[in-house]
Amino acid sequence: MSRAQTLITENIATWTGAIQAKSTAGRGSSNKHELYGIKKLRELILELAVRGKLVPQDPNDEPASVLLERIAAEKAELIKQGKIKKSKALPSISDEEKPFELPEGWEWTHLQTITSYVQRGKGPNYSDSGQVRVISQKCVQWKGFDIEPARYISDSSLDKYQPERFLQEKDLLWNSTGTGTVGRINVLSNIKPNSLVADSHVTVIRPLLTSSLFLNTYISSHSVQKRIEPTDEKSLVSGSTKQVELSTSAVNSLVVPLPPLKEQQRIVEKVDELMALCDQLEQQTESSIEAHSTLVDTLLSTLPNSADADELQQNWGRIAGHFDTLFTTEQSIDALKQTILQLAVMGKLVRQNPNDEPAAVLLKRIAAEKDRLVKEKKIKKQKPLPEISEDEEPFELPEGWEWVKFGFIITSAETGLDRPKAEQSPDQKFAYFKMNNIGNNGGIEWKDITRVDASELEKEKYKLTKGDFLFNTRNSRELVGKTCVFNNSPEDDVIYNNNILRVRLSKISPYFIDFWFRSTSGKDLLESIKSSTTNVCAIYQGKLVHLICPIAPVLEQKSICQKVDELMALCDQLKHKLQQSQQTQVHLTDAIVEQALA
């Protein structure tokens, strides 16, 4: 076994243990992690393969120099027969163009030298039916070739296609335009003659006396794929970041390591074998992660479902005894945070004090306060809200708590200042708080704050003050309904955007209400009042005021907020330690890859 293979097989735990959390845009994203170690293992296998370090060389193999001579003779014969055109000669390959040293018997060559045909497809004349389908970039995926997106071309346009434009068995298809699609490559297999052509965004590569699968391995390797980035020093693509192009000349002039033909075949077989191992490792790791997540969710669900304090203590004891093995992923820590919020709003996080003023008395004081403000013409009189039925209550509240309509505890609610993007810039007068400044899991994110100008009247009307409860009214379906409490006192004034509802509450902790709307039960209620269009989802104020909220006694609200802050800080510490551990695993993985390629 070679040194490189030993590094692969003896570090299975490292490959499967290096897992990174993905930064997700949405609350409900299912793909919350990346199997970084296995991804790097796949890259390493391809790199070792194309550098001649994956399988041993056989001195009895016909060297690549002789293979090149046979390819040249075959091309000359095809040109003589008029089957292919003679290509322009390319300059000799310089040492600077050779990215690594080759083993004995290998040669560097241009892709043009070992192919009989390299050409972009044609712009098709589409039809609902026909004899021939056209391959687009959607068909060429990293997971494999997919014929389903291929549309038909009209039969009447077939005479515009020369014979060589019809795709053949073992042709390479290389996506050649667009960020995110350019660079993907597949090998065609099991196709009927004269049944497929390529469109103008796909480059067709037809190897000559060379393994298509080996060339596919090389083009898929990091050595080539990193050059698909426009920012790479030796980039193969041209154009802007959003619309890059891989030209036919860049494809033709690509410098390729060429092993002996028999070694090409051995390499392809070994790559297939090791990629199958990666598939197994990936499946086992994903199954383990899923089983762990299910176990955590099952155990955590017992806490809010506990019938009484004794059962809650018993269920928590079952979790606490295995804390170090349960909360080992960011997803499990996030699930713990969510459970903390749910326990908080159900009155199960801190003990009730029978001496606390009950919430019913607090609600009477709120009603009196609002009546006074109406008389003083500081707020408008609200329409009476309907009584709360038992069917609306998602769970039973503790003694001294009350359910109330959200609108009842509001003294004011107003959306913010509308400023088009053209009028937003870092050099304007006021910080402009937008929906992206509310964290996906609560809290405030200042990193992408922009600024706007506003009149003195606008500033006074839309200025945020400490304790304002902020609710995101328009966003994607996953993110609409994000909430936070404005608790910062920055040096300059902050004005808020029209996609945010600023709510000021009467005698109720805005943090407690924030916990409610971020809890599982609160999110479920918000989900029921979302209104979606094609591009955006909204929660309208008229529906929001009718949602119910649990209200705890004032002193208990304070105790709950303190306990939640304390537990969330512990969760954040736990997550930070986990991230440090994950980063160590990532660095270890990178070190093994570097060692293997040295």
pLDDT in tens, 527-552: 999 998 878 999 999 999 999 999 99
* Confidence band of 5 (pLDDT split at 50, 70, 90): confident
* Confidence band of 596 (pLDDT split at 50, 70, 90): confident
Q: What is the mean pLDDT of residues 54-80?
A: 96
* Confidence band of 490 (pLDDT split at 50, 70, 90): low
CATH superfamily of 62-259: DNA methylase specificity domains (3.90.220.20)
At 20, list the tokens.
């990174």
Q: What is the mean pLDDT of residues 57-78?
A: 96
Q: What is the 3-state secondary structure (H, E, C) of 22-33?
A: CCCCCCCCCCCE
At 480, list the tokens.
């609409």
Distance of CA 383 to the CA centre of its chain: 44
**Residue 502 bridge partners (DSSP):** 414, 470
Q: What is the mean pLDDT of residues 405-429?
A: 95
DSSP assignment string, 242-256: SSEE--HHHHHT-EE
- State phi, psi for 140 to the nearest 5 degrees: -100, 100
Burial 148-187 (b: 16+ CB within 10 A, else e): eebbbbeeebeeebeeeebbeebbbbbbbbbbebbbbbbb
Predicted confidence (pLDDT) at residue 169 exceeds the cutoff of 50? yes
Q: What is the pLDDT of residue 25?
A: 42
Question: Dihedral through CA 241, CA 245, CA 250, CA 254, nearest 10?
Answer: 70
Q: What is the mean pLDDT of residues 281-288?
A: 95
Across the chain, mean pLDDT equals 93
pLDDT tens sequence across 101-131: 999 999 999 999 999 999 999 999 999 999 9
Q: What is the mean pLDDT of residues 190-213?
A: 96
Q: What is the mean pLDDT of residues 514-530?
A: 97
Residues 6+ apart with CB under 8 A from 129: 152
Q: What is the mean pLDDT of residues 90-109?
A: 95
| Comparison of pLDDT for 241 and 353, the residue scoring more | 353
Residues 6+ apart with CB under 8 A from 376: none
Predicted confidence (pLDDT) at residue 597 exceeds the cutoff of 80? yes
Residues 6+ apart with CB under 8 A from 27: 440, 441, 478, 479, 523
Q: What is the pLDDT of residue 241?
A: 63
pLDDT tens sequence across 306-333: 888 788 889 999 999 899 899 999 999 9
> How many residues comprise the chain?
598
Q: Note whether 386 and 478 are within 8 A (CB).
A: no
Q: What is the pLDDT of residue 23?
A: 62
Q: Which residue has the tokens 């490559």?
A: 185
* Confidence band of 489 (pLDDT split at 50, 70, 90): low
Q: What is the pLDDT of residue 28?
A: 43
* Confidence band of 21 (pLDDT split at 50, 70, 90): confident
Common-topology check for domains 62-259 and 359-552: yes
* Confidence band of 3 (pLDDT split at 50, 70, 90): confident
Report the relative pairing of strands 133-135 and 196-198 from DSSP bridges. Answer: parallel
Select 359-552's CATH number: 3.20.20.80, 3.40.50.280, 3.40.50.2000, 3.90.220.20. Answer: 3.90.220.20
∠ CA(495), CA(498), CA(504), 5° rounding?
65
Domain map (residue ranges) of the chain: 1-61+270-348+556-598, 62-259, 359-552
Express as a percent the part of the chain with pLDDT over 90: 84
| Residue 528: burial class (beta carbons within 10 Å; 0-12, 13-18, 19+) | exposed
Q: What is the pLDDT of residue 26?
A: 43
Q: What is the pLDDT of residue 29?
A: 44
Residue from 260, 245, 218 nearest 99 by CA = 218
CA–CA distance, 104 with 66 (Å, rounded to integer): 13
Predicted confidence (pLDDT) at residue 481 exceeds the cutoff of 50? yes
* Confidence band of 383 (pLDDT split at 50, 70, 90): confident
